[in-house]
A and B are shown apart, each in its own frame.
Chain A
Amino acid sequence: SQQGEEDPQALSIQEGENATMNCSYKTSINNLQWYRQNSGRGLVHLILIRSNEREKHSGRLRVTLDTSKKSSSLLITASRAADTASYFCATAIRPLAGNMLTFGGGTRLMVKP
């Protein structure tokens, strides 16, 4: 079953704008990961943030984690048309070794050129 919800379900922005997606979850976690999925393709791992971390950066991506609120956000700065995809958060209750992920509902992002 899904761990939580993502908000918004769909987001449409202009190229150059920032995109923020939020993820909420229900149980205690070891880490939270964000994935990207282009239409009809598999998932690409973007970034992992551990439960003892509050913020992480990778290129134009910024992820925050608030364990007290059981929520995370993914910010994509200076968006490009190529960022158009679905973005999913996934939580793991154990460290990486063979851990099972529970995915959120996803946010469909459309970046208009």
Chain B
Amino acid sequence: GAVVSQHPSRVICKSGTSVKIECRSLDFQATTMFWYRQFPKQSLMLMATSNEGSKATYEQGVEKDKFLINHASLTLSTLTVTSAHPEDSSFYICSATRTGQPQHFGDGTRLSIL
């Protein structure tokens, strides 16, 4: 099946730093990538939809300047959490899809801000 690689799997950093998370589709060209946030024992909340070569579409309540998304190629999207604070600590998951395919998910990134 399709493989989506997400890196890093875990990151711990100090408050105020910026963290970049990569999402790569390894064996297919993803026209659309999605970024989700998941709190413990809760469901996935969509943060933004990213189409290659265009600006990401953010869900209501998600700060664009806080969560920068870049989708520069059909195989790579990045999420940068800028000036991260403890309340940004969460599990972030990406997914990738193309025409006629379901979403294929990465393994997630656990972000802990001290």
Interface residues of chain A, those whose CB is within 8 Å of chain B, are: 2, 33, 35, 40-45, 48, 88, 96-106, 108
Q: Does B13 contact A (CB under 8 A)?
A: no
Q: Is the interface of B mostly helix, strand, loop or mixed?
A: strand
Q: Is A48 a contact partner of B102 (Cβ separation < 8 A)?
A: yes
Q: Is A97 a contact partner of B103 (Cβ separation < 8 A)?
A: no
Q: Is A106 a contact partner of B91 (Cβ separation < 8 A)?
A: no
Q: Is B108 a contact partner of A106 (Cβ separation < 8 A)?
A: no
Q: Is A103 a contact partner of B49 (Cβ separation < 8 A)?
A: no
CB-contact partner of B41 in A102, A104, A108, under 8 A: A108
Total A-B contacts with CB atoms under 8 angstroms apart: 60
Interfacial chain A residues near B110, Cβ < 8 Å: 40
Q: Is B32 a contact partner of A98 (Cβ separation < 8 A)?
A: yes
Interfacial chain B residues near A35, Cβ < 8 Å: 105
Interfacial chain A residues near B104, Cβ < 8 Å: 45
Q: Does B46 contact A (CB under 8 A)?
A: yes
Given A40-B91, A43-B93: A96 touches B41 (CB 8 Å cut-off)? no
Distance in angstroms between the alpha carbons of A103 and B36 in the assembled complex: 11
Q: Does B77 contact A (CB under 8 A)?
A: no
Shortest Cβ distance from B25 into chain A, in angstroms?
Answer: 13
